[in-house]
Structure 1
Amino acid sequence: MRVLLVGDYPPPYGGVAIHVRQLHQFLRDRGVEAKVLDIGKGGRPAPDVLPVHGAAAFGLRLAGFTSAGWTVHLHTSGNNPKAWVLAALVGTMPGPRSPRVITLHSGLIPDYLAESQARRVFARTALAGYARVVAVSPAVRDAVVACGVPEEKVVVHPAFCGSQVRPGPVTPEVEAARARRSPLLAMAHHPSPVYGRKQMFRALKLVAEEHPGVGLALFGPGTRSEEFIRDARELGVAGLLEDLGELEHAKALGLISQSDVFIRPTTHDGDSISVREALALGVPCVASDVCARPEGTRLFKAGDERALAQAVRDALAAGPAKVTAPDAGPVMLDLYAELLPSGMAGAGTVNAA
């Protein structure tokens, strides 16, 4: 069996990139010959990870794998035109003995597809070349099926490999934050308003009324922007924040493992990998009710900072609750085996240097 994963690969450490790396590692641990076509920014070199820049270079590399009969698994957001053009390209690349699988990661897909008939028609056309479409939530599945994709082609499974959740060492910065703050909350940050920064800041001020020693550790891009600093000052929480900037994934897991509650206050979401990672680490997790959340997540009504603050208080009072984490690795391995043409387990070679 030979599997080519196509998608972003860290850094940066977005959810899709993390899942691609974890699935790649799972396959390698199982003895599967697996490579990654990194279509992101092309970070530091890693074994069997092939950065590609430009459509022509990508097409040539991909054609080599499909002609050699590799199973190709594309990972994309599905919430913008570029993602669907990529899906169409991968799905139509010649290679009749090269099964295609796609995972659609974004919780924004239902809204994106609902905006126009043209988008739904293009999505149906783009997905025609895939043997399986993996949706990360029932809402994403329903949106895809509503476009006319056969229901039997679509499977729902979280983009999460529980066996690969391995926290790195706790950094001195995290140790210092842990020593200063009780309780210590954690949140993945992004400058997009979808991540709910303002709502989190308002809720944090409310939590501080009952827990004056509280601190919120934030990691991710945009924590040093003018907008971030302005919001922190105007909402009265500048003194309650621990700004850790962008962290490597293992260090982010180290932070989460040391926090008392992990918070996901998003206004739109898919199957957030960080929520599942927190739960797998035994850390209480509070998240908005904008989508289906894993068992064990404490939900609050999206847009209601008082409900968010109360959910945080409840989570602090309840303490840790270990949750069994799902693992996409074995599921994908079985799916690849099911799609593999008879007699192709050891066939096909490709010069991917």
Structure 2
Amino acid sequence: MLNLLSLFPPPYGGVAIHAVRLLECLIERNVDVRGFSLTGIPDTTLPISKVSLFDVARGIGEQGSIVHYHSDEGNWKTALLASSYWRRKRIPYIVTLHSFRPRGIFTNGMIRNALRRAYDEAAAIICISENVRSSLIDLIGVRHDRCTVIPSNLPVSSFERGRPLDASIPSAWSNAQVRIVANAGRVVRFDGEDLYGIDILLKAFAELRRTTPDASLLIVVGDDVVDDDLYVSWQRAARQDAGIHLVNDHTGPLLPAVLHAHIVVRPTRTEGGPSLTLSEAMECGRIAIGSDAVPRLPGCRLFTNGSDTDLLRVLQGAADDARNGNFPAPIHPFDDILSQLLMVYEDAGLDIHP
């Protein structure tokens, strides 16, 4: 039995969406698997149970099973709590890290050593990018040979494809001639700057509207507003331009909006991997634009990280292509990702084909 412990939607962040996709892919491969959610339960028939931190401490996993835990730097307490149980019960566990950014708590020697032990004693550590692996090594001191890099961009799930366009999305965007979409899971600064790069996107879009007045920008925002002043600046820009639609009551996955869009933009100043948002855009044959802050998938149109003028250049070309119906062919950059994960499971002792 494989126990998949993760965030599940809602809310619809990248880790939660990846968990749904992974669970669906594993079931299609006839893997004996069940999901355990630390957040919500999606409206699906997939085998997912809600668990609390108390449940985790009491034990997720049993003798003969394997646990695959999905985490990031923000869930370090859960990682410590759960791994101590698994080690005590001799239950093999695999950890996938979707990001690992610096936090003040990691300067605490006791915390850092405890986390290093939790990761070093895992059956495997999976990082979704080389950037995450390097950060984990630098911040915690985990051995390089313990970390495997496997991207997280699995195929879009049937759960996502079955959802309609969210009711929160205004018709002014859905009926526009050139539709652009971006998302920001949190409203937060990193190293003093807008982490998701929405400030850069708003500046570039304001200039784009001078030459492309029929363009419309949808920004789907998560409910985690850490920096109120930053959010106020986004709201101010949206009030000043009728072509900007800032939506913070979106209740489903982003995919229906991606399918309805022409252009998908990811202007992040940094992130864990190439971006699930851009991956699903390319899988669906949409124009994908991303900052060059991290390596992106082949076919993604890049602009210089933090530069609104360079983003404007790329946006203008994409808008011209969208108006002329020039869209890229759908690509499938994830063909071997599930196979790599299955090999990790087998190496950890899971019988994939009992």
Aligned partners of 1:203, 1:61: CA distance in 2, in Å? 49
TM-score, structure 2 length as denominator? 0.82
Aligned to 1:143: 135
Cα 1:326–1:237 change in 2 (3 A) is farther
2:334 corresponds to 1:326:
yes
2:188 corresponds to 1:187:
no
3-state DSSP class of the match of 1:143? helix
Contact 1:8–1:20 under 8 Å retained in 2: yes
2:152 corresponds to 1:159:
yes
3-state DSSP class of the match of 1:160? coil
Cα 1:286–1:240 change in 2 (3 A) is same
Cα 1:301–1:339 change in 2 (3 A) is same
TM-score, structure 1 length as denominator? 0.82
Aligned to 2:38: 39
Amino acid at match of 2:311: L
Aligned to 1:340: 349
Aligned partners of 2:105, 2:312: CA distance in 1, in Å? 32
Aligned partners of 2:207, 2:230: CA distance in 1, in Å? 21
Aligned to 1:66: 62
Aligned to 2:124: 132
Aligned partners of 2:134, 2:165: CA distance in 1, in Å? 41
Structure 1 stretch 315-324 or stretch 285-294: which is displaced more?
315-324
Q: How far is the alpha carbon of 1:79 from its aligned partner? A: 4.5
Q: CA RMSD in A?
A: 3.1
Aligned to 1:105: 98
Aligned partners of 2:78, 2:265: CA distance in 1, in Å? 28
Aligned partners of 1:82, 1:290: CA distance in 2, in Å? 28
Aligned positions of 1:77-116 closer than 5 A: 77-79=72-74, 81-82=76-77, 84-86=79-81, 88-89=83-84, 92-95=87-90, 98-106=91-99, 109-112=100-103, 116=107
Contact 1:160–1:276 under 8 Å retained in 2: yes
Q: How far is the alpha carbon of 1:117 from its aligned partner? A: 7.3
Cα 1:312–1:188 change in 2 (3 A) is same
* Structure 1: unaligned runs, 5 residues or longer: 347-353
Of 211, 231, 239 in structure 1, the residue corresponding to residue 242 of structure 2 is 239
Pairs aligned (count): 335
Contact 2:153–2:276 under 8 Å retained in 1: yes
Cα 1:344–1:40 change in 2 (3 A) is same
What percentage of residue pairs aligned between the two structures are identical?
21
* 1:298-351 per-position Cα deviation (integer Å, ceiling 9, x unaligned): 12222211111112112334542233321533321222123216x7965xxxxx
Aligned to 1:18: 17
Cα 1:214–1:277 change in 2 (3 A) is same
Cα 1:173–1:117 change in 2 (3 A) is closer
3-state DSSP class of the match of 2:242? helix
2:318 corresponds to 1:315:
yes
Contact 1:19–1:161 under 8 Å retained in 2: yes
Aligned partners of 1:289, 1:86: CA distance in 2, in Å? 36
Contact 2:238–2:245 under 8 Å retained in 1: no
3-state DSSP class of the match of 1:22? helix
Q: How far is the alpha carbon of 1:270 from its aligned partner? A: 1.3
Aligned to 1:349: none
Aligned partners of 2:85, 2:137: CA distance in 1, in Å? 20
Contact 2:178–2:216 under 8 Å retained in 1: yes
Q: Which has the larger strand fraction?
A: 2
* Structure 2: unaligned runs, 5 residues or longer: 190-194
Aligned partners of 1:11, 1:80: CA distance in 2, in Å? 17
Of 281, 285, 301 in structure 2, the residue corresponding to residue 282 of structure 1 is 285
Amino acid at match of 1:70: S
Amino acid at match of 2:94: V
Contact 2:269–2:305 under 8 Å retained in 1: yes
Aligned partners of 1:87, 1:300: CA distance in 2, in Å? 41
